[in-house]
Amino acid sequence: MRRPAVAIKENEVDADPEEDKMRKSPPDASRFTMLDTAFFDRDSPALARALIGKVLRRRWKNQWLSARIIETEAYCLDERGSHASLGYTHKRRALFMDGGVIYMYYSRGGDSFNISAAGPGNAVLIKSAYPWIDTIAGPAALALMQAANLDAQGAARPLHRLCAGQTLLCKALALRVPDWDARSFDPEELFVDDVGESPHTLIETTRLGITAGRDEHLPYRYVDPAYARHCTRNPLRKGQTAPLDYRWVDRDGKMAAEQQFPRDVIPVAD
């Protein structure tokens, strides 16, 4: 797991680097498998697939807010649906950095969370997630997430609606553009955790909200089939058929032999 760099301050030349490392590492560090920068060094469609099943961990008010990534969208410099295709600006600088840098922007009145991939201008949008509960993120963490993302009536959202969209996810995890845009992951505050969940078959379909004529046909959206009904828009909804409207693919993006719902996958209920 990547740890924060150890810096020996002036007048502390005799400081023990191991003690300094222990002091700077979060108390739960031994229970995490934080993705290192090498993980993000792949093209954006490959990264979008690889992130499905990983867990975003956000330290907030002394709790680890956590959400399993269930839907992603890939964006590339050479296609017109991406921000990077509009050219380099200071605001878009994170898109042109090495893989694993956070790129945030405002969308539909809220914040959106992206991660840069290999190659200038390539990135992955974390489109939606599902609250993750374990020994690290328990009921207290979930309560904080719900309090941060109340519905229009001021009531707590149910689990399946709490992170069902890019801006809802950012609200639930207290992720804001001014705080995190163009920053790297920090093991003490925010990172992606490998919890051993890697669905072997994914849904591949077109991205949402792409303006007509801006490469809206590209199949760069990926969904965890177990959570399909809880993502931004269910690709398996009535009237959609494979392989016309979506495809079943493996983790490498290769078309699955059977274009049907995997027999060993149990859909997550509301």
Averaged in consecutive runs of 10 residues, what is the pLDDT profile of the chain (270 residues)?
32 39 50 94 98 98 98 97 95 97 95 98 98 96 98 96 98 98 97 96 97 96 98 97 96 95 93
Q: Identify the pLDDT of residue 29.
A: 64
Total number of domains constituting the chain: 1
Residue 203 lies in a domain: no
Residue 254 lies in a domain: no
Sign of the four-CA dihedral 53, 41, 64, 207: negative
Q: Identify the pLDDT of residue 266.
A: 95
pTM over 0.95: no
Residue 244 lies in a domain: no
Residue 41 lies in a domain: yes
The whole domain housing 32 covers 27-198
Report yes or no: 203 and 230 within 8 Å, Cβ to Cβ: no
Residue 70 lies in a domain: yes
Residue 131 lies in a domain: yes
Residue 65 lies in a domain: yes
Report yes or no: 3 and 29 within 8 Å, Cβ to Cβ: yes
Residue 97 lies in a domain: yes
Q: What value, to the nearest 5°, has the Cα angle with vertex 87 and ends 45 and 191?
A: 45
**Is residue 145 helix, strand or coil?**
helix
Report yes or no: 43 and 122 within 8 Å, Cβ to Cβ: yes
Quick one: how many helices (H) and strands (E) in the chain? 6, 9
> Rounded CA gap, 43 and 47, in Å?
6
Q: Identify the pLDDT of residue 245.
A: 97
> Rounded CA gap, 171 and 42, in Å?
28
Q: Identify the pLDDT of residue 28.
A: 64
Q: Identify the pLDDT of residue 177.
A: 98
Read off the CATH number of the domain in which 114 is found.
Answer: 3.10.300.10
> Rounded CA gap, 71 and 222, in Å?
6
